Structure 1
Amino acid sequence: MRHGDKINNLGRTASHRKALLKNLACELINHKRITTTLAKAKALRTFIEPLITKSKDNTTHQRRVVFSYLQNKEAVTELFGPIAEKVGGRPGGYTRIIKLGIRVGDNAETAMIELVDYNEIYGKGKGEVKEAAKKTRRGGSRKKAAGEETAAPAEETASEEKSAKKAAK
């Protein structure tokens, strides 16, 4: 029986599994997107998300803790540099898993795991400025709805002015 055994062993010994996750995490940090099996992607998510959270606090101690997991100086530098800047305002959920179907050779479910802030298709465009994370409460919906009604006509008039200028040219 496997009561209370929540870790996916991936058919490997503990040392092999640790090495596998370390290598997958380094490749994900370097390439921002990798394709692997669905089980490995789910295991990688639980491995790398705490490391990305640690990278938000750029201290020597946090760098050493992350380095003890990854054992790769380039990956640690990349994680604490550009990646930490992009995910600074995000309170979690740094990765996205997209199922790709089955692999022809062994019928394994494949998936793509990527860093959320590095995908321009699903995320916001490059030109947009990110705002700081806002704390929201469910009770504030009436105030927010009233604010949107007043802001909507101003946005429509601005877009109409832009289209009029384009038509004049």
Structure 2
Amino acid sequence: MAADYRLDRIDRRILKILQAEGRLTNQALASRVALSPSACLARVRHLERIGVIQGYHARLDPFRLDIGLVLFVEVILEGHSPEEQARFEAAIEAMPEVVEASHVSGDVDYLLKIVVANMMEWTRLREKFIGGDLGVDRITTHALMRKPKIFKGYPISDP
């Protein structure tokens, strides 16, 4: 986000609404935030341009898709130099099975969300992590059992 830009009350209202209803028309959004359609569209485009809004997506239920396994994988790298991290991040970017990755603090370096058809496919992919040249020291795998709470958006506070 631009360092000199502060989200105001209207920006925050727009973001709350779009997180909940990303398919809302500009006309309907403008009405709900009490702006003209052109003023509302200008604000949304500005929020997109400065990177506050990064995209629009459909939220899918992984259990209703023919995905197989959804795994959360904790990764500890052998080294922690910027070059080693960049090499690892470039490698996982190229893996379609890795659908989300976060560099985190604490006892692990990365938390990955991975989807594979079955345990055999995970075993093959796991060997790329451990036996390959990705610089991975250790991984811990957690299989998704169910989703008691689904991500619906970030909490947006009033200014």
TM-score by length of 2: 0.29
> Higher relative CO (CA 8 A, sep ≥ 6), structure 1 or 2?
2
Q: Which entry has the higher C-alpha Rg, 1 or 2? A: 1
Which has the larger helix fraction?
1
Which has the larger strand fraction?
2
